[in-house]
Amino acid sequence: MDKLLGTLQDLTQTPLGAIPPEFAILAGIFGAVLLTVIGLTLLPRGQGAVERRMGGDAVPGAAQASIRFDQGQVRWAGMLKAFEQYLGPMPEAGRSGIGLLLVRAGYLGPNAPRLYYILRILLAAGLPLAFLAISPLFPRLDTQAIMFIAAGCAGLGLYLPWRFVSSKAEARQSAIANSFPDALDMLVVCVEAGIGLDAAFTKVGMQIERAHPVLASHFAMVALELRAGKSREDALRNFALRTGVEEIRAFTTLLIQSEALGASVARTLRVYAEEMRTKRMLRAEEIAHKLPVKLVFPLVTCILPAMITAVLLPAIIRIVRQVLPHL
């Protein structure tokens, strides 16, 4: 602690031109990381075109709070567009692909793809600079090894944002798949009670917002699109596209075909709900059957050596004390 205070005191008394370049680089990296954290806190999560048309008065509850428009994001969007002018326009194909992944991860704002690409560029440039700044601490590394590790840091900076967004999207998809059978049962109850399918989405979304907030937000978006004038087929297809869950894709296809053929929606929902409950039970049984295989590795690496040591150690001590002296 005294050495750190002495170093800080020396830095405050050193002229600006005499400060080592490593400290200047570290200060720049710290500023870049600070701006990145601020950007992540301001990452837009709501307010699409449907919400603007509805004027922010769509569905009460947590689902509406999750898509509430923040006026401060307007200035942030202007900063991102100004920064994008120096980087050039993003490719449309990459924007559409990563935009869908960001939507499935929960980042619904229009500036989310732009911020994602800017964050990747900052990390790809900041991590190699950080390593080059601390490379004098490793004098055994030659120039070739330093450049190789810096290139690896740049690749890691490009990979980490994609891995973070992908893992978050997979976690949300898993939560949706596990909570969808419960929501489907409530949807069957609402439809059989005489409530229309459009109103049933709103009702179920309000009822499950505490237990299953991710699925409730998607139900709220479906209700908003239906109230904004979209057809039921388009709203259901967008629902399946936003979630990316196979069960919901089959559910939307089943509803669209039932409506086109004139079949009973309530009977269709009941049959599919029974199938979904069976599938969830099979998924739980599959996870339970995998547990014995997964427990083999900790048993062999942790518990088995301790048991062998506890059983054989007295015999080994007796052999060492009685047999070895005679040998």
To the nearest whole percent, how much of the chain has pLDDT over 70? 70
The residue that leads in pLDDT, 111 or 33, is 111
Domain positions in the chain are: 19-169, 175-281
Among the ranges given (12-26, 104-118, 249-263), the one the predictor scored with the smallest mean pLDDT? 12-26
> What pLDDT score was predicted for residue 79?
56
Q: Residue 146: pLDDT above 80?
A: yes
Chain centre distance of CA 246: 18
Average pLDDT, the chain: 76
> What pLDDT score was predicted for residue 219?
92
**Quick one: pLDDT band at residue 76, thresholds 50, 70, 90?**
low
Q: CA torsion 209→214→220→224, rounded to 10°?
A: 160
Of 233, 93, 116, nearest to 169 by C-alpha is 116
Q: Residue 75: pLDDT above 60?
A: no
pTM of structure: 0.65
Q: For residue 182, what is the DSSP state?
A: H
Give me 293's structure tokens.
Answer: 């295989």
> What pLDDT score was predicted for residue 110?
79
The pLDDT tens digits for 216-272 are 999 999 989 988 888 889 999 999 999 988 889 988 998 888 888 888 888 888 888
How far is the C-alpha of 30 from the C-alpha of 20, rounded, in Å? 16
In the chain, which residue ranges form alpha helices assigned H by DSSP?
2-13, 21-41, 49-54, 62-66, 72-87, 92-105, 112-134, 143-192, 197-207, 213-228, 232-243, 246-261, 265-298, 304-326
> What pLDDT score was predicted for residue 310?
87
Task: Give the angle subtended at the CA of 34 by the CAs of 70 and 147, to the nearest 5°.
Answer: 130
Give the position of tokens 């590394």.
141
